[in-house]
């Protein structure tokens, strides 16, 4: 159930996305055209995700996004998802008020609710307080924004993750997301899988953020969507994602672009192999 404090103010049902989100959604840095997956494979991606914190750190970049609009800035005519996941410094410096205003100004097609820092090695009470702050931000966003929203689940351990997910469901967030980067870097795939399974039971649509390596798709079949940019991070290191091949090692611009295209193709193939019944754009109906 929703904690008592959240019920003291009004709660509005968040809008849900009214368009089909594909299984694989490229995450782009709006200030680095090398990450524009939609330009490397034109016409393949109907939805892309944007790292908001990259705009937050660049005044000129943010002003360009406001003056041109995100679609023109990114040279993209599809749907745009704003990812709220960002380094803790930006969360603490700007706060949820700035974030809500940024969504109002940028007008994306869908946005992830505000990110909060919760860590297993921090005092449990501190993580719980941040979890509640994230839920309060989600409540405010559902009241103040017309933008469709995906609720970001937080928590320092499995019980907190379940609490966050259940509260979001009670507030009307049937689409939910999990941030995966820190857990994958820490080689905690088993724990992440437990978290994803818990969240999947509390929502009808689950998005895994920073989880886009082809090797992961079959391991997280409970997820509906994978958002990330593994193809770019691997390509700039001269590596193919699937087999770790170093035959294209080098930092030449054309070579990096070639690797990005190859990694994108591998990711698309892996999605199709992992979800053969409904393809890369299928959604779970539970």
Please, are residues 211 and 231 in contact by the beta-carbon 8 Å criterion? Answer: no
Which of 24, 4, 13, 33 minimizes the C-alpha distance to 257?
33
Average confidence score pLDDT of the chain:
87
For residues 124 and 158, the model is more confident at: 158
229-274 per-position pLDDT tens digit: 999 999 988 888 876 666 655 555 568 888 999 999 999 999 999 9
pLDDT at position 202 is: 93
pLDDT at position 210 is: 92
pLDDT at position 3 is: 63
The answer on pLDDT for 80 being more than 80 is yes
pLDDT at position 285 is: 42
pLDDT at position 282 is: 52
User: What is the assigned CATH class of domain 23-274?
Assistant: alpha beta
94-144 per-position pLDDT tens digit: 778 889 999 999 999 999 999 877 666 666 667 788 788 889 999 999 999
For residues 11 and 22, the model is more confident at: 22
- Among residues of the chain, what percentage have pLDDT more than 70? 86
pLDDT at position 176 is: 97
pLDDT at position 246 is: 61
């Amino acid at each position: 159930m929703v904690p008592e404090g959240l019920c003291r103010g009004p709660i509005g049902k968040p809008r849900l996305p009214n368009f089909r989100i594909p299984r694989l959604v490229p995450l782009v840095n709006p200030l680095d055209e090398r990450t524009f997956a939609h330009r490397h494979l034109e016409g393949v991606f109907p939805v892309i995700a944007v790292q908001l914190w990259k705009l937050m750190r660049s005044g000129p970049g943010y002003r360009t996004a406001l003056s041109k609009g995100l679609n023109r800035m990114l040279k993209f005519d599809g749907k745009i998802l704003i990812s709220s996941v960002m380094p803790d410094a930006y969360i603490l410096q700007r706060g949820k008020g700035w974030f809500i205003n940024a969504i109002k100004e940028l007008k994306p097609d869908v946005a992830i609710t505000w990110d909060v820092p919760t860590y297993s090695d921090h005092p449990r009470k501190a993580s719980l307080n941040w979890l509640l702050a994230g839920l309060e931000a989600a409540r405010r966003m559902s009241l103040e924004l017309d933008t469709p929203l995906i609720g970001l689940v937080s928590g320092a351990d499995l019980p907190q993750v379940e609490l966050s997910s259940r509260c979001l469901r009670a507030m009307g967030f049937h689409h939910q997301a999990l941030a995966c980067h820190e857990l994958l870097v820490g080689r905690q795939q088993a724990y992440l899988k437990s978290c994803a399974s818990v969240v999947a039971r509390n929502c009808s649509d689950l998005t895994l953020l920073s989880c886009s390596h082809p090797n992961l798709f079959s391991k997280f079949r409970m997820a509906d969507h994978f958002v990330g940019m593994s193809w770019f991070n691997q390509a700039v290191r001269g590596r193919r994602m699937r087999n770790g091949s170093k035959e294209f090692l080098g930092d030449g611009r054309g070579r990096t672009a070639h690797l990005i295209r190859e990694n994108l193709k591998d990711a698309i193939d892996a999605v199709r192999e992992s979800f053969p019944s409904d393809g890369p754009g299928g959604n779970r109906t539970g």
